[in-house]
Amino acid sequence: MSETVRAGLFQTGWTGDKESMIQAHEKAAHEAAAQGTQVLCFQELFYGPYFCDVQDTKFFAYAEAVPQGPAVQRFCALARELGMVIVLPVYEEERPGFLYNTAAVIDADGTYLGKYRKNHIPQIEGFWEKFYFRPGNLGFPVFDTAVGKVGVYICYDRHFPEGWRSLALGGAELVFNPSATHPGRSRHLWDLEQPAAAAANMYYVGAVNRTGTEGPNGFYGTSYFADPRGAYVGERASGDQSELLVRDLDLGLVREVRSEWQFFRDRRPSAYAAITAP
């Protein structure tokens, strides 16, 4: 396996309906494949609007089964056609009343590898997510893909260092954070937290945010990759335009940085009991 992986992030705005949104992402996947992209991540709740600025049961209709639902099946076929790993953030219905903010991970041969369910669910002005989602119950899985060991964290999760570290201890080399983040209290943290998590855990982070305006809210894009030293990999994406961001990631740098810093060796788990106290 080559240590250089070509990875992509696709940020875009709401098109107005689910089918055209899916088609826009299919087009982006084809464009990414034409550029040699091997792994591609879409934004949070990729085929719908970000509806959590209101509390309305009509949006439950966007939820689908994972992996049996049409969106995941459609992108399994596309991943197989393009030979590309795809991280697909969707609204999941496990059964009536059991709804999750989920990302399916599909391997380059179209195999569904599993899913991550968002663990940390906000309930604050503009992000009424507890109305729509149960907290994740699958832990912090790391998926052994054609491009290496991939983890997923979703949007609000990024404020919690425990999950980032759990993914590192699970062997992750590249962690994606698909998001729907608009200006306000978290704007500064978008620039700060994910590069810091990449450095603290010595892996790559791919951070992808929505663009455009939906209802009262706008999203500020600026998707990026951060390397295991916490540096941006190339320029960040636009703040207001749809954009496919493709970057080459040297996974050999993960091993190099972990050898330099030895954070895993120097951890003191027995001293951290307060972290897991209720």
Q: What is the pLDDT of residues 129-138, one digit of tens each?
A: 999 999 999 9
Q: 107-138 burial, b for 16+ CB within 10 Å, e for fewer?
A: bbebebbbbbbbbbbbeeeebbbebbbbebee
- Whole-Å CA distances, 39 to 26, 77, 134: 14, 15, 28
Does the predicted model carry a pTM greater than 0.85?
yes
Average pLDDT on 204-228 reads 95
pLDDT of residue 217: 83
SS3 168: helix
254 confidence band (pLDDT: 50, 70, 90): very high
1 confidence band (pLDDT: 50, 70, 90): very low
Q: Is 115 a catalytic residue?
A: no
pLDDT at 232 over 70: yes
pLDDT at 188 over 90: yes
pLDDT of residue 126: 87
271: in domain: no
- Give me the catalytic one of 52, 92, 118, 129: 118
pLDDT at 238 over 70: yes
13: in domain: yes
Q: Is 52 a catalytic residue?
A: no
SS3 116: strand
pLDDT of residue 61: 97
pLDDT at 92 over 80: yes
218: in domain: yes
187-201 and 161-169 helices, crossing angle to 10°: 30
Residue among 205, 194, 156, 171 nearest 41 (CA): 205
Average pLDDT on 199-213 reads 97
Contact (Cβ atoms closer than 8 angstroms) between residue 167 and residue 202: no
Q: Quick one: how far is CA 215 from the chain centroid? A: 23
- Domain housing 76: 4-262
Q: Which residues contact 68 (CB under 8 A, 6 or more apart)?
A: none
273: in domain: no
Residue among 98, 95, 178, 92 nearest 134 (CA): 98
Cα separation, 47 vs 40, whole angstroms: 15
- Give me the catalytic one of 41, 52, 76, 155: 155
267: in domain: no
pLDDT of residue 184: 85
Average model confidence (pLDDT) across the chain: 96
278: in domain: no
Task: Tell me what percent of the residues of the chain surpass a pLDDT of 90.
Answer: 94
SS3 173: coil
CATH number of the domain that residue 81 is part of: 3.60.110.10
Residue among 178, 182, 256 nearest 213 (CA): 182
Looking only at the bridges linking them, the beta strands covering 98-106 and 112-117 are antiparallel
2 confidence band (pLDDT: 50, 70, 90): low
Residue among 35, 28, 22 nearest 9 (CA): 28
Cα-based angle 172, 28, 1 (whole degrees, multiple of 5): 35
Average pLDDT on 135-164 reads 98
Number of domains in the chain: 1
Q: Is 58 a catalytic residue?
A: no
41: in domain: yes
121: in domain: yes
pLDDT of residue 215: 80
278 confidence band (pLDDT: 50, 70, 90): confident
